[in-house]
Structure 1
Amino acid sequence: MPDDTAEFGFITALPSIFLLAFIFYTKRILEGLTLASLMGFIMAYKLEFFTHANETLIGVLTDGDTQWLFIVCGLMGSIIALIERGGGAAAFGVWVSKRAKTRRSTLLWTWFLGVIIFIDDYLNSLTVGSCMAPITDKHKVSREKLAYIVDSTAAPVCVLIPISTWAVYIASLLEQSGAAAEGEGLKYFMQTIPYNFYGWIALLIVPLVILGVVPVFGPMKKAEERAQNEGILAPPGSEKIDIHAGERFAVPDNPKILNFFLPILFLICSTIYFDVDMQMGVICTIAFTFLLYIPQGIMGPEEFFDAVIAGVKNMLFPLVMVVLAFTFADINEQVGFLSYVIDTAKTIMTPELLPLVLFIVLGITEFIMGLSWGMYAIAIPIAVPLAVAVGADPYVAVGAVCSAGVWGSHICFYSDATILSSAASGCDNYRHAVTQMPYGFLGAFFTAIGFLIVGYM
């Protein structure tokens, strides 16, 4: 890390400003992340930028979180491919079609499925998007709207449930930072759930949009008109990120609905059994699916492992994009962007305004940096003692930080949530982010009002 980051000041924001301008002008995210990262390395390390860029990329790739991401998402791709090859997805489509005969009921089923798969947002997005896309296609639902429903249900429900990977992670941060005693992190987290306003509001807005209470407007309206009037469901460029754009599998005759529900149910239960460990969950589910499908004769061992490999290959492009986003977030940390933002925001933090300021400042920071859980690791150890120091409620402060992470992720072009929801739904991630953004700001508006009210209570 450069020694003179304190001298950068506002200049630390230049790579992020360039990235956002590049994305809005060119609609190209992959190239924008690469160029903005290089700008950050040149700014921080001058002529030695290439060496440090190489070291940072190696560090990102060898980081335990990145390896976890590759294993979990890669094998989730395998599970999805196996369910498709085993006929489970087709059987699920028939099963839902008998119960959801209209466009609106199909979208409500999509939302409901997202709510009940609350263990992990990756599992949620990849499962719901993959399974519901063929069904929503029959009702001419734009892939942008499907991606919005998937994305705006996944993280919000996970951050509100105390037996999710999000809850376990945030609870561990609370214990590591000293905010909660050892073994008390989850109890502390549960007391912050009522104040996670954005999670509640985002989760509520989705069915209101489906039912027409909240109208379809902005870029989403144009996407829906394109889908319904022209029959073009996915925006241009979606095939690059669509995890279903690769190899197609022949579906067996008379597919069984149990070949869908049993692997998904086993994945959820095994994840919970191994202390909410998704990595153990996906590995065990691959083994379980082998034992479930092979005796039925719907595929042989060779076909099984071909499907496993095909599923991993389908996830490569989204994972490459996530790695580039992590690299960009890393160089932003190295130049001190987040520290600069927090230090600047501290000057306006009163007990009454603290929750609102935390939500807005950290949400915008997450939008710019795409840190994902990395923002929580940095902000939670700061937010709790800061709340105590100024006389604010620390539970509300943590709720504001959690809300900021979800909101910023929702409106970010290159957050892991945006990328994986786009990949599963078969929607170009730029178009997904642009169409979801107005609803993200709508949720943020009501969230800000909530934190303002609570701050003055």
Structure 2
Amino acid sequence: MAHFGIWGLIPPVLTITLAFITKDVIVSLFLGIISGALIAAGGNPIVAILNLTDLMADVLSDGWNIRIFLFCALLGGLVGMLSRTGSANAFGLWARKKINSPKTSLLLAWLCGIIIFIDDYFNSLAVGTVMRPIADKNKVSRAKLAWVLDSTAAPVCILVPISSWVITVMSIVKGSEGFESFGMSEFAFFIKAVPYNIYAILTLIMVLTIIFTNRDYGPMKKSQKLAEQGKLFNEAYGDAPGEVEIVTSGRAKNAKMFDMLLPIIVLIISALIMFPFTTYLLTVDGETITSVSQAAASMSLGDAFNNTDASMALWYAVIITVAFTYIYYICRGLFKIKDASEALINGIKSMVPALVILVMAWSIGTIIKSSPADGGLGLASFLSEVVVGGGFPLALVPAIVFILSALIAFATGTSWGTFAIMIPIVMPIAVGLSAGKGLGSAEALNATLICVSAVLGGAVFGDHASPISDTTILSSTGAGCPHLEHVATQLPYALTVAVCAFIGFIVGGFTLSAVAAWITSLICFALAIIFLPKFIKE
């Protein structure tokens, strides 16, 4: 038996349904996994539980998975140390002396959001804390600052291959049915997918466009007018949250602007070195190639990047960065050894919910894709048979999964859970439809890239726009903006970008061309920026 047929749809459908009802993606994923284990065990609960425990143990015993798990944990620890030192406040004090206009205030907030890509939570709170007094001084509405924070959180994290977001996506893609047919590393697949991630990139373009043109519309226009009159937030939406507590006393008084930037620079440089170096290490076989220098001479730098094991490279990079940052902050006198350890541990603790989702994503993906002989449901095989045999149009898949991913993320407030649910379903469908239509390898890859990117874009949009999203809430908090004002003012802007991306995915689905998709999206975007401020009232 190759699959369980339509029964294999129960885990993802149950997970999606419960996510809408409970708004709790962890519980929804867990119950989805249990339902899959029960079906695979023929309804025997004891066998299902035993198989499930073995499955989770196997998931974490995989070398790739455990390195990704530990990378995410240590990335949280790094953010914990950054938060403890007061370096963000030092950066804010420096910037306050240099920035004297609304436009430059927002541009600096945008730039800081790009630079601080390692964690969306830290982005929203740290940049918000730094930029709020600068924006207030220059009469920028709290709502507009919150929108910039939110627009450079998830949309940036999903584009940079050193973030916990992207490494999670790589791990889910790597374990999805059909990925192995492309004969490339998950890192190379992600890099090729970046140009198709229309929503995330267009969101960053949208922020810059509004900053330079001042073409605000909808509730944001009213909030900005109030700010120019000295009312930084709209009291009709309630009170603004209190000030975010930051460390400014004790040893933190010694913090400098560079203390915040240096660990991020070290992480970037370490990763850039380790991506090719890891490939060289794995090429050394002790026989034909006996040294790293010999391995480096045997391939181009581009091949070394494309064939890298991203889990090893990022794991080495984050270890180097955490060790360097730990020692550097102690030598700088920004905290004692005990404080450094507490900050590291607290940062790791903050990643626990994300780590739980990550393990569950691997688990439900394994149950969905594995054959019945291996304790799974074979859903990928079933979907490929049904979709390909039924003549479903490949051209419509990107637009459909964009909408579905957006709805799931909006209802649950999380992108990660949406990645875990949708990518293992979409990947085999895209690969199967491409094979059924007789597409060449390059066209099949393009079709799969745009389908997976539609999942990423839809999930980021849902997370970006959802009022229950962590990053939406933290952006309100970081900017000191009433939460409902942030949601109301941001939604028209996020919807504008989402509609432009959706139309781009329709065109991209038919043409299998990133260029055609982008031209369409940019034309729609330009028309929206020209006409929406004229027709949408405050």
Task: Check whether TM > 0.5.
Answer: yes
- Residue 153 of structure 1 contacts residue 203 of structure 1 at CA under 8 Å; is this kept in 2? yes
Work out which of the two has the higher radius of gyration on C-alpha atoms and give 1 or 2. 2
**Amino acid of the structure 2 residue aligned with 1:387:** S
Q: Distance in 1 between matches of 2:18 and 2:434?
A: 33
Alignment partner, residue 204 of structure 2: 203
**Structure 1 residue corresponding to 2:120, chosen from 107, 110, 125:** 125
1:451 aligns with 2:505: yes
Q: Secondary structure at the match of 1:253?
A: helix
Alignment partner, residue 228 of structure 1: 233
Q: CA deviation at 1:411?
A: 0.7
1:304 aligns with 2:340: yes
Q: Distance in 2 between matches of 1:190 and 1:39?
A: 31
**Amino acid of the structure 2 residue aligned with 1:263:** P
- Residue 81 of structure 2 contacts residue 344 of structure 2 at CA under 8 Å; is this kept in 1? yes
Alignment partner, residue 105 of structure 2: 106
Alignment partner, residue 280 of structure 1: 316
Alignment of 1:183-194 (within 5 A): 192-194=193-195
Q: Structure 1 residues 54 and 67, CA, compared in 2 at 3 Å: closer, same or farther?
A: farther
Q: Distance in 2 between matches of 1:361 and 1:156?
A: 18
Q: CA deviation at 1:288?
A: 0.9
Q: Distance in 2 between matches of 1:148 and 1:338?
A: 36
- Residue 267 of structure 2 contacts residue 318 of structure 2 at CA under 8 Å; is this kept in 1? yes
State the TM-score, normalizing by the size of structure 2. Answer: 0.61
- Residue 26 of structure 2 contacts residue 357 of structure 2 at CA under 8 Å; is this kept in 1? yes
**Amino acid of the structure 2 residue aligned with 1:295:** C
State the TM-score, normalizing by the size of structure 1. Answer: 0.70
What do the CA deviations read for 1:336-359 (whole angstroms, capped 9, x no partner)? 797588777654633544544454
**Amino acid of the structure 2 residue aligned with 1:350:** P
- Residue 11 of structure 2 contacts residue 32 of structure 2 at CA under 8 Å; is this kept in 1? no
**Structure 1 residue corresponding to 2:455, chosen from 401, 404, 417:** 404
Gaps of 5+ in 1: 23-28
Q: Structure 1 residues 279 and 365, CA, compared in 2 at 3 Å: closer, same or farther?
A: same
Q: Distance in 2 between matches of 1:85 and 1:75?
A: 15
**Amino acid of the structure 1 residue aligned with 2:325:** T
Q: Distance in 1 between matches of 2:238 and 2:378?
A: 39
Q: Identity, % of aligned pairs?
A: 20
Q: CA deviation at 1:266?
A: 0.8
- Residue 82 of structure 2 contacts residue 260 of structure 2 at CA under 8 Å; is this kept in 1? yes
Alignment partner, residue 288 of structure 2: none
Q: CA deviation at 1:53?
A: 6.7
Q: Distance in 2 between matches of 1:423 and 1:112?
A: 18
Alignment partner, residue 269 of structure 1: 269
Which shows bigger deviation, 434-443 or 98-107? Answer: 434-443
- Residue 409 of structure 2 contacts residue 463 of structure 2 at CA under 8 Å; is this kept in 1? yes
Alignment of 1:416-431 (within 5 A): 419=470, 426=477
- Residue 366 of structure 1 contacts residue 375 of structure 1 at CA under 8 Å; is this kept in 2? no
Alignment partner, residue 177 of structure 1: 179
Alignment partner, residue 372 of structure 1: 419
Q: Distance in 2 between matches of 1:360 and 1:342?
A: 21
Q: Distance in 2 between matches of 1:97 and 1:221?
A: 26
Which shows bigger deviation, 405-414 or 441-450? Answer: 405-414
- Residue 173 of structure 2 contacts residue 424 of structure 2 at CA under 8 Å; is this kept in 1? no
Q: Distance in 2 between matches of 1:344 and 1:361?
A: 19
Gaps of 5+ in 2: 137-141, 276-309, 369-376, 512-538
What do the CA deviations read for 1:119-178 (whole angstroms, capped 9, x no partner)? xx6x142453242121233236358535522334324533799xx758976996799834
- Residue 234 of structure 1 contacts residue 426 of structure 1 at CA under 8 Å; is this kept in 2? no
Instruction: Give the aligned length.
Output: 431
1:153 aligns with 2:155: yes
